[in-house]
Amino acid sequence: MSMQPATSKSVLGNFADAVFSYNGIETLFRTIDGRYIVRTKAEEGADAEFAIAYTFGVDPLQQYLIELNDGRYQAFDVAWDVMRQRWFHLSPISGDQSATSGVETISEGVHWAGRGFNWNRQCADCHSTNVRVGLTDAGYETQFDAHNVACEACHGAGLKHRNDTSRPYRDVACTPCHSRRSQIAEGFQPSEQLLDYYVPASTVPPLYFDDGQIRDEVYVYGSFLQSRMHMAGVTCSDCHEPHSAELQSSGNALCVRCHNQSPPNNFLDALGTFDTPDHHMHPVTPIECIDCHMPTRTYMQIDNRHDHSLRVPRPDLSSKYGTPNACSNCHTEGDEWATQQIIRYHGGRRRSHFSETLLSGSRRHFDAERDLAELAQDPEQPPVARGTALLLLNGYELAYSAEAVANGLQDPEPLVRLHALQSIERLDQKKRHGILKRLLDDPIKAIRTDASRIAVEHLSDFIEPSERTMLLSVLDEYKTIQTLQSDLPEAHTNLASISIALGQFDTAETQLKTALAIEPEWIPGLVNLADLYRRLDRNSEAGDLLEKAIAIEPPIAEVLIAYGLWLIRNDRPGHALHQFQRSYELEPESLRNGYLYALALNANNRREEAIGVTELAVDRFGDHRILLELLATMYRDEESFDQALGYATRLEELFGGDAYRALRAQMLLAVRRRDGAS
């Protein structure tokens, strides 16, 4: 019942001349000759009438699809609240609710006819069966075999139920729709490799919290892959009845089927007594296992979704890192109080969990590098966590973590290889080239095509004709993926990056302008086109684009930095300082933002403030090379030689090298001269 033609049986909302007002826009819902009609503001600005073609969902809300003239079907942004029997708007009323109260949103001011509400691209693949998007020059000619999710969506074309027996097969059937992912091919069959058709989103901010808990709407798969249950072999259908979408049992009975004194032989790790106050710590208040181990977040304002990482609540990490925990969903006494309650019942020792390593790595703590490298190479940990660790190692530089990246690129787990690719620049040229050559022949489409995207940036390394032929062949496969998605600005931006790497600057300019024609406020398009103009010595045009980009709300730190760097290149350091300050105030937890702000302060003769910002960054992030270098040179330049010597010594001890040895010797000599003169 996911998607149905709009009829008296399928439509749940009030279309009896109901009026709904939101943000100055009045919408009328009515029925004319058996057709369901919405009168509201069109994309062009004037009021118009639109017919409802399909219903979308039944609980806890129902949306409605409107067909437009170019073959687009758009999900209307006013939905029906089934429980409260009322119309409501899907956008937030105020504020950044996705960051605070956990409500996923589409930004204020985005019209329902925009691409964010487009059914053909955003919704159809999961809500209908065997969808072909059908892009044409005039719009869409989308086709499907069934309006809703029919048998073949899960069992594949023509497969008999008796063939649908392997447990991994059942999980793969669920994954495409129960994951946040991008599509790289149409025609997926459940018996095939997921990564030949879809690329799951990484479990990192902003979609997830720094420890991997869900933040934005990510549809289960990414969180479930992090769980010990998944590692133990639990699959979706162990808990969910696939044909009815109901749970296999209700309440705690679902969990204690395995978590008891006599667990199934394949889940012996579940041995124990859990449904007691001694375990759940709530002797009076009734509580369910999922309240603590699968806390919910709210999306689309009324749709509560459970986090499927099935982790133990960690209010101690909330105190340290500011991450959410299940205890605070009900209790207002604070994280420290919750920590003490857990210690009271379960003692002070906590089972080691990869989340603390990922938390520290996400915050760019210097000391996290070794832990990330160890996590990445630990086969006992979930592949998605190991892959995330490799992704985070891109921000570090010591040799042992580069070795972890090299090992990850040869890992048998596809998700590990896919994530490790994002850190391949950590490797030296010779090793990187050899690995890229091998990955261009990887059996997994998502991996080999992404390898081609990276390899084209190093085209000069592919000297042998056979190597270059292979690269260009896989690159064509990557381009085909972008063509499949050519209704999205991302696709044209990706193609432009390839064109730039190939030196085809005119083509790249056209591709970026196409992206901006699809979405005029597409930030990556504006920034990339500005950077292309910089390379072509069209500085004035680059500046105009960046000025447009920084005016878009909400502001984005990366855009402010890009504009600040443009201002520096154009000899306007004072104006650049303002942009770096804004980016720092917007994201003070970013190492790069603090570093660039300190550099700008120092360049504007505000060295004392620059030192303060940099020392705060060292306290926050640890002994990163760039921070210690900056402090050593700033203290040297103001002739504070004792402080400069201290930082030069730390640089030599941590990183070695003749340059730091010479800097330390220089500062030591300056101190001796000063002391001798006095």
Q: Which residue from 83, 148, 48 is spatially nearest to 304, judged by alpha carbons?
A: 83
Q: Which residue from 222, 210, 226 is spatially nearest to 324, judged by alpha carbons?
A: 210
Do the Cβ atoms of 317 and 355 come closer than 8 Å? yes
What was the pLDDT predicted at 83?
95
Report the alpha-carbon distance of residue 352 to residue 190 in Å, rounded: 35
- Count of beta carbons in the 10 Å neighbourhood of residue 599: 20
Tell me if residue 608 falls in helix, strand or coil.
helix
Report the alpha-carbon distance of residue 610 to residue 631 in Å, rounded: 9
What was the pLDDT predicted at 242?
87
pTM: 0.92
Cβ contacts of 347-355, under 8 Å, gap ≥ 24: 350/312, 350/314, 350/316, 351/312, 353/311, 353/312, 353/314, 354/212, 354/226, 354/381, 354/382, 354/385, 354/389, 355/211, 355/212, 355/311, 355/314, 355/317
Tokens standing for residue 16: 């009896």
Do the Cβ atoms of 31 and 16 come closer than 8 Å? yes
Cβ partners under 8 Å of residue 332, min gap 6 = none
What was the pLDDT predicted at 97?
35
What was the pLDDT predicted at 102?
39
Tokens 């100055």, located at residue: 24
What was the pLDDT predicted at 351?
87
**Domain residue limits, the chain:** 3-111, 161-312
Q: Which residues of the chain have pLDDT under 50?
A: 94-105, 161, 166-168
What was the pLDDT predicted at 430?
94
What was the pLDDT predicted at 63?
96
Report the alpha-carbon distance of residue 288 to residue 255 in Å, rounded: 10
Report the alpha-carbon distance of residue 502 to residue 119 in Å, rounded: 35
Write out pLDDT tens, residues 153-208.
888 876 554 555 544 456 788 999 999 999 999 999 888 899 999 999 999 999 99
Write out pLDDT tens, residues 625-667.
999 999 999 999 999 999 999 999 999 999 999 999 999 999 9
Residue 293 one-letter amino acid: H
